Structure 1
Amino acid sequence: MRIFCFLVLVAASSFSYAQQFSYKPINPFFGGDTFNYQQLITSATAQNSLTAPLEEVKEQSELEQFGKQLSQDLLNTINSQLAQQRLDNLNITEEGTFTFGNLNVEVFETFDGLVINILDTTNGEETQIIVPN
């Protein structure tokens, strides 16, 4: 009986076939087909449960809008004058601290060039501009 089972197993194994295992990636970033990209993006977007928080729109009074516009105009004027002076190869000789509404502007010369520090006194934000020599 054992010999018969052994012969059946040997005979059955002669009829079995094997094939080579092959792997084809799906993701185009790892060698897959580029046509799968849109499907992967759509699937990832559908599974994404995170949403960006909506920013609250703050209504500004006309006075606040006017002040903001005036500050922006002054910054644009300073920028234009500095750019024009730089293009004309003129040296800015006025160093010191100037106040434009809520903005304190400090101008001084260093080895790196002309340094302009702009401080917003309402919220403490500071910006530094360096115009190289």
Structure 2
Amino acid sequence: MKRIFASAMLALSLPAAAVASELVYQPVNPNFGGNPLNGSHLLGSAQAQNDFKDPNASSSSFERPSELDRLTSSLQSRLLSQLLADVGDGNEGSIVTDDFAINILDDQGVLSILIEDINTGEVTQIEVDGLVPDTF
């Protein structure tokens, strides 16, 4: 029995043939050649670990405008669009909102748009030359 045990111990103590293969680096991050499906997982992990709070950011999040504000904005946009369409016919006009006063003048083919910011008093003038009505 001692002989079998000694033979077994001798066989186990002899070096065995090692089998090895080449190690190949495979990146995880898709920015460095990794699988593109890892991107959302890595981004989610990074955002979960991010505890930075921007001190300059407002504490309130975006507030959706009320239905009345959206209707008012839509009407102002429509009126301004109609005013610009009427100028092509030789008409002039103006529109005043809570924030801006817009005057549109057509002076013999020169379109002049004056935009005044009511809150700051700043005035912007846009002139477009060469507008001649189509005559057929």
TM-score, normalised to structure 2, is 0.46
Instruction: Name the structure where helix makes up a greater proportion of residues.
Output: 1
Q: Which is greater in Rg?
A: 2
